[in-house]
Structure 1
């Protein structure tokens, strides 16, 4: 039985970018662009009407910016959350952090190769998170110190010592293999720890774990 293509909405205020993304995406047999728009408000309206699997979202746009649109589509108050992949020219720590807090499942730069865009769409749709380790490490180095912790860490006493170690390494952008190497354990054990961390803290994915660690001062 043939699976239906992943339904994608492309939202960018530049016609050439929208056309380019649409051409790249529609060339894939497992992906299909079902709508295009040039502002965040229209993206929200289209998503509610067309029920896509994912929205590829720019950040700086008229009417409603991509961060606000992402919050409406994928944030905790969204009635029927839609997955969002933020793709932007603005490689700024603040935009990355705001996008992730708003509920985005991943973040890419527009100058990334086409196969990164396709991989990003498939990854986020699958329920996994897409956050380049270098982006995460830069956030830790340049931005995390400016984020005010939101009071005592509610994970204190909830996570084991090992789980807290794993959470901190996840927040530093390490892959499961890198964490396994650092802690001298197997990648399968790391995967189990990550799964338990997400369950205990009621987090959706690794991206939310990164944001959680920033917000609760787990990185020093």
Structure 2
């Protein structure tokens, strides 16, 4: 007997702001046994509300959700909040009883930057998959996530290992302030006035920022900070 036929299907909630993508995923997932799509959300806010009602085992989460709450924030909210009162029958990915952990979150995205991966994992994502993966890899990742096992696309796993070998730079709050003003196009004198510090102090901080980011120009510093999402709150 197929082991998938002897246990309840994995309850899956889709969260992607593109209706066509959700429809494609639903059709794709209908072709495999043991996975049941129990809801679709087009925003982070909608995903939170639906998850409270349908109690999925796994949420398949996009990171970029247009306006409103992004996928990382929704992931953090889903994985940190206790689940609501239990449904009559237990589900394969969760435990019975009030106060049980929320659903597993499996990120499915086009983006594989170091910053995106780090933020998603820090938010509590069980796995991180790229949309270019084959259907079989997606099915396996959903099953792994439901069982509490980490699921990473091969390119993502490579980047995670690279980050561990060479951690991303840590900027002080003052350095972040200066970078934010650089991104707005302000010069040293304007930054000094805005932050109530001297131009010499601004230059000193810029030197440290350049060293941490491995750059030697203002434009490059802003570009690298944007790529790594170092300026996000």
**If the length of structure 2 is used for normalisation, what is the TM-score?**
0.59
Quick check: 1:11 aligned with 2:15?
Answer: yes
1:69 aligned residue? 74
1:85 and 1:130 map into 2 onto residues whose CA distance is 8
Q: Which structure 1 residue ranges, 5 or more long, are not aligned?
A: 149-220
1:90 aligned residue? 111
Q: How does 1:38-57 map to 2 (within 5 A)?
A: 38-57=42-61
Quick check: 1:146 aligned with 2:168?
Answer: yes
Q: Deviations over 1:2-53 (max 9, x none)?
A: 3221110001011111011111112222111010011111001100111011
2:163 and 2:33 map into 1 onto residues whose CA distance is 40
Q: Deviations over 1:138-191 (max 9, x none)?
A: 23435842254xxxxxxxxxxxxxxxxxxxxxxxxxxxxxxxxxxxxxxxxxxx
1:104 aligned residue? 125
The DSSP-based 3-state class of the residue aligned with 1:108 is: strand
The DSSP-based 3-state class of the residue aligned with 1:45 is: helix
The DSSP-based 3-state class of the residue aligned with 1:145 is: coil
Q: Deviations over 1:92-131 (max 9, x none)?
A: 1111111100000000001111111111100110111112
The DSSP-based 3-state class of the residue aligned with 2:36 is: strand
2:89 aligned residue? none
* Cα pair 2:12 2:37 within 8 Å, conserved: yes
Structure whose alpha-carbon radius of gyration is higher: 2
Quick check: 1:136 aligned with 2:157?
Answer: yes
Quick check: 1:79 aligned with 2:55?
Answer: no
Q: Which structure 2 residue ranges, 5 or more long, are not aligned?
A: 84-101, 171-233
1:31 and 1:140 map into 2 onto residues whose CA distance is 30
2:91 aligned residue? none
* Cα pair 2:126 2:151 within 8 Å, conserved: yes
2:90 aligned residue? none
Count of paired positions:
147
Offset, 1:82? 1.1
1:129 and 1:139 map into 2 onto residues whose CA distance is 12
**If the length of structure 1 is used for normalisation, what is the TM-score?**
0.62
The DSSP-based 3-state class of the residue aligned with 2:6 is: coil
1:127 aligned residue? 148
The DSSP-based 3-state class of the residue aligned with 2:159 is: helix
2:155 and 2:132 map into 1 onto residues whose CA distance is 15
